[in-house]
Amino acid sequence: MKMDLRDWRVAGNAAIAGDAALAIEARGLVKRFDGFTAVDGIDLCVPKGAIYGILGPNGAGKTTTLRMLLGIIDPDAGVRRILDADRPHDVAHAIGYLPEERGLYPAMKAYEAIAFVGALRGLPLKQGRERGRALLEEHGLGFAADRQIRQLSKGMAQQVQILGTLVHNPALVIFDEPFSGLDAINQGRLERMIRDLAEKGTTVIFSTHVIAHAERLCDEVAIIAGGKVPFAGPVDVARDRIPPQVRLETREPDGPWRAALPGDARKDGSLWSFSLPASGVEPLLRALIEGEAGILSLSIERAGLHDAFVAIAGEAAAKALEAGETTEDAR
Amino acid sequence: MSGRLSTMAAALVVARRDFGAILFSRSFLFFLLGPLFPVLVGAMAGGVGQRVQQSADTPQLGIAMEEQHVDAMLAAHKALAHRLGDALPDLTVVRTLKPGDAFDAQAALTSRRARVAAILGGTPSEPILTGTQARVAQWQGPVSMLAAHALGKSPQNYPEVSLSGVATSSAGERRSRLLTAQASQTLLFLLTMLLAGMVLSNLVEEKGNKVIEILAAAIPMDAVFFGKLFAMLAISFVGIAVWATAGLGLSVVAGSALPDLPPPAVGWPIFLALGIAYFSMAYLLLGSIFLAVGSMASTVREVQTLSMPATMMQLMVFFLASYAMTQPGSPVEILAAIFPFSSPFAMLARAAQDPALWTHGAALGWQVLCVVVLVRAGARMFRTRVMKSGPARVKPAKRGLFARLRPARA
């Protein structure tokens, strides 16, 4: 039976969707290729105005999910709603998209390429040309406006394409692995651009296999692994999935205070590491003092997104993610 | 923010880009010039050939007789020429003999010194015709008439024949319109084959540039396909205009070397309009198939392999339409008119032979419908089979052509 998003929310999923206005709602998205399930029942709710990261290793199903959301391919099952429209192409004029595999016509001039992408999104060509030139100037590429794409460096061509994604002033921007192929300086520029867009109220979704980008930029993330989303929500909530880590250094190597340490405590030199017990830090401190541990130092560190990713997606997915990051660094 | 585009508006954005890109490319210039060379060479060869044929195909009858007989025969030829027309061969004097002179006609013909097809010797009362068996049989009658006239034995006054001409007979009209139909069908076939092939490489280039995903995300795939077809159609009209201009120029230069086609049943203006419409339909139908093929392929080599069946089908369709043309009103002709791919060819042939116009309206409507269905099916196939991603899972057996079908990395 085909399910409508309204039915889904009525059926008790309002908490997932929340009350905030949503740029994207997707429920139970499934995509199979030749019998292989690339995406297996994904639910996503992206609030309007948020910076939303889709985090997962290569092959996790990020691109397929984005393509389904954009209407490039249709899901085999599930429903999606993007900018309050059931058919993504109905709101294509309000969406900007940068695919993972960058593509521009090599013979086109830079400003024409930007105008063409805008024209595809309904921006009149004349206006697109003017804005193309203006955007290039604004981003320090004014000198390249009349150069053909084939005459630009790969990084410059990629920037031209990013500007093409924004030329029609979209309400929702979707970047698929936007940092891939950019050097550190341009990665920083892109991060700033994403923050600026969000400040102006634009919803930004990007996929990445680099946790640091998601951690620095995102309000919310969806962790995707093996075609499923084991977690979707605010970054803080993801971190809170695992308890804060306590690092303890004591003067006394042993004593009654050891009874206060939880079962996962492990010693590395003179330093003890363990998860903060659910009862909190005060009972722990009291037990350590009463047990005469002789506390030299005690720090409580909140889990990072990487740790959260390991805890949520599993060791294998984390290793795949790290492998992807290593490959990216090597480029 | 910008406004939403309709499918046709989106198709025009793609068409405009493609049209400009192709029109100002070097390959288009070569594409334009390509067919002109064979036409030019053909026209030149035709002109030369015609002259050669003219000189070779006017056989003359040589005459070798005594002077008074030669004079009598020439006078008789002059008197009969306008009555017998082409049946009477041109007469040329090979040698004027003196009384008692001997002349070996066979030796003269064999030595090829005398550039005549046969030699008439002897006297008007006892003419001797020497030549090949076929030639002798052909000229025996006219020669005896000539001789009789030279001797004064044929009627001196011929009755006047009243002439009553008709423009054409029904059999002649049908035959000549068939010629027009045949010529137009062949031209249509050649043009569609020449131009539809260009669509193929276009989408491959698009996939090579990786622009296709940007297009697919922004506008419906139908619009991408329609845009590409429209662009190529517009390009083809530019090509046809250039070739037609060149053809017109050639016809001025070559004059009678170009064929003089009999008028079609619907008249030239309507026939030309229908020709453009049917060319567009034939091109769009074939182009939509080739576009779907092109969308499945990722290299030019794959395109060539995949397009082979489509090309073969087009050839078969052309043969079907050519055969159907000779059987107007038969089930085969109706089938050829209904089958979408042969319909434009069959209907154009029908326009040459049958003055009815309503059938063309119906056929064009049907063909438009088929184009829409084919483009939609091609776009759907493209979305379901090509725009896929996922982790790379390459089976050892899936290589080359089929490797493309494996999921790409997400």
Question: Across the interface, do B4 and A91 touch by the CB < 8 Å criterion?
Answer: yes
Strand order in B118-122's β-sheet? B90-97, B60-66, B118-122, B127-131
Q: How far is B383 from chain A (nearest CA, A)?
A: 6
| CATH among 3.30.1380.20, 3.40.50.300, 3.30.930.10, 3.30.530.20 for A5-233 | 3.40.50.300
State the Cα–Cα distance between residues B209 and A150, nearest whole angstrom: 11
Asked if pLDDT for residue B408 goes beyond 60, the answer is no
pLDDT band at B400 (very low <50, low <70, confident <90, very high): very low
> Which residues have CB under 8 Å from A18's CB, separation 6+?
A45, A47
What pLDDT is stored for residue B367 in this prediction? 94
CB-count burial class (<10 Å; 0-12, 13-18, 19+) for B245:
exposed
Q: What is the pLDDT of residues B15-32, one digit of tens each?
A: 999 999 888 887 788 778
Q: Is the pLDDT of residue B207 over 80?
A: no
Give the number of A-B residue pairs with CB atoms closer than 8 Å.
Answer: 121
Give dist(CA B297, CA B200) in Å, integer: 9
B38: part of which helix (H) or strand (E)?
helix B26-56
- Predicted confidence band at A101 (pLDDT cuts at 50, 70, 90)? confident
Q: Six-digit token pair at B324?
A: 């159907």
Q: How far apart are CA B140 and CA B151, in angstroms?
A: 17
> Nearest-5° angle of CA A233, CA A239, CA A245?
170
Structure tokens that stand for B409 in this block: 């990395």
Which one, of A67, A69, A93, lies nearest residue B386 by Cα?
A67
Query: Which range is least confidently modeled, A186-190, B209-213, B304-308?
Result: B304-308
What are the CA-CA distances from residue A156 to residues A136, A194, B100, B206 (Å)? Answer: 10, 18, 104, 20
Residue B6 and residue B218: Cα distance in Å, rounded?
Answer: 11
Q: Tell which residue, A209, A305, A294, has the closest CA to residue A254.
A: A294
How far is C-alpha B237 from the chain's CA centre?
18
Helix H, strand E, coil C: the string for chain A is CCCCHHHHHHHHHHHHHCCCCEEEEEEEEEEEECCEEEEEEEEEEEECCCEEEEECCCCCCHHHHHHHHHCCCCCCEEEEEECCECCHHHHHHHEEEECCCCCCCCCCEHHHHHHHHHHHCCCCHHHHHHHHHHHHHHCCCHHHCCCEHHHCCHHHHHHHHHHHHHCCCCCEEEEECCCCCCCHHHHHHHHHHHHHHHHCCCEEEEEECCHHHHHHHCCEEEEEECCEEEEEEEHHHHHCCCCCEEEEEECCCCCHHHHHCCCCCEEECCEEEEECCCCCHHHHHHHHHHCCCCEEEEEEECCCHHHHHHHHHCHHHHHHHHHHHHHHHHC
Instruction: Check whether B388 has a pLDDT greater than 80.
Output: no
Task: For residue range A18-38, list pLDDT tens digits in order.
Answer: 545 899 999 999 998 878 888
- The alpha carbon of residue A312 and the mean position of all alpha carbons in its chain are separated, in whole angstroms, by 15
Is it the case that residue A300 has pLDDT exceeding 80?
yes
- Position A39 confidence tier, pLDDT thresholds 50, 70, 90: very high
Interface test with A, best of B209, B214, B395 (most A CBs within 10 A): B214
H helix runs in B151-211, sequence order: 170-209
Q: Is the Cβ–Cβ distance between A204 and A197 less than 8 Å?
A: yes
Find, in chain B, the residue whose alpha carbon is nearest to that of A202: B1
Angle at A232 between CA A228 and CA A233, to 5 degrees: 180
Q: A254: distance to nearest CA of chain B, Å? A: 51
What's the pLDDT at B293?
77
Question: Does residue B393 carry a pLDDT above 50?
Answer: no
**Angstrom distance (rounded) from CA B292 to CA B309:** 13
Q: Do A99 and B214 touch (CB under 8 A)?
A: yes
Question: Is there a contact between B407 and B388 (Cβ–Cβ < 8 Å)?
Answer: yes
Sequence ranges of the domains in chain B: 7-30+173-405, 58-150
Instruction: Give SS3 for B6.
Output: coil
Give the single-character DSSP code of B357.
-
Chain B residues 336-395 with a CB less than 8 Å from chain A: 383-384, 387-393
Give per-residue burial for B126-165: e unless 16+ CB within 10 Å, then b. ebebbbeeebeebbeebbebbbbbbeeebeeeeeeeeeee
Which run of H or E residues covers position B122?
strand B118-122
pLDDT tens digits along B122-144 = 888 888 988 888 888 888 888 88
Mean confidence (pLDDT) of chain A = 86
Q: Which of B2, B211, B393 sits opposite A93 (nearest CB)?
A: B2
Q: Which two tokens stand for residue B167?
A: 């423009």
Question: Is there a contact between A36 and B393 if contact means CB atoms under 8 Å apart?
Answer: yes
Q: Which of B149, B148, B147, B129 is nearest to B139 (CA)?
A: B129
Token representation of residue B325: 């043309």
- Contact: A105, B410; criterion CB under 8 Å: no
Give the HSE-up count for residue A202: Cα atoms under 13 Å, Cβ half-sphere: 25
Instruction: Give residue B360's pLDDT.
Output: 93
Identify the CA nearest to A223 among candidates A213, A234, A231, A211: A231
pLDDT digits (tens, 9 = 90+) for B108-121: 887 766 678 888 88
Nearest to A119 among B13, B405, B406 (CB): B13
Mean pLDDT of chain B: 79
Q: Which residue has the higher pLDDT, B273 or B113?
A: B273
Identify the helix (H) or strand (E) that includes residue B119: strand B118-122
CA-to-CA distance for B216 and B204, rounded, in angstroms? 15
- CB-based contact A99 B217, cutoff 8 Å: yes
Does the model's pTM come out above 0.80?
no
Query: How far is residue A39's CA from residue B293's CA, in Å, rounded to a whole number?
Result: 28
Q: Which of B12, B204, B389, B405 to mutate to test the interface with A (most CBs of A within 10 A)?
A: B389
Evaluate whether B407 touches B393 at the Cβ level (below 8 Å): yes
Question: How would you label A259-292 residue by residue, b for 16+ Cβ within 10 Å and e otherwise?
Answer: ebbeeeeeeeeeebebebbeeeeeebeebbeebe
ipTM of the prediction = 0.81
B365 pLDDT band, cuts 50/70/90, is: very high
* Residues A70-99: tens digit of each pLDDT: 999 889 999 999 999 999 999 999 999 999
Superfamily of domain B58-150: Periplasmic binding protein-like II (3.40.190.10)
Quick: pLDDT tens for B58-84. Answer: 678 889 898 888 998 998 888 888 778
pLDDT tens digits, B225-241: 899 889 988 988 888 88
pLDDT in the model for residue B53: 58
Q: Which of A45-54, A125-134, A145-154, A225-234 has the lowest average pLDDT?
A: A225-234
> Of B209, B384, B406, which has the smallest distance from its Cβ to A106's Cβ?
B209
Residue B137, token pair as written in the block: 């049989």
Sketch the domain layout of chain A as residue ranges: 5-233, 245-301
**Cross-chain residue pair B210–A101, CB shorter than 8 Å:** yes
More confident residue, B261 or A138: A138
Task: Tell me, yes or no, if B403 comes closer than 8 A to chain A by beta carbon.
Answer: no
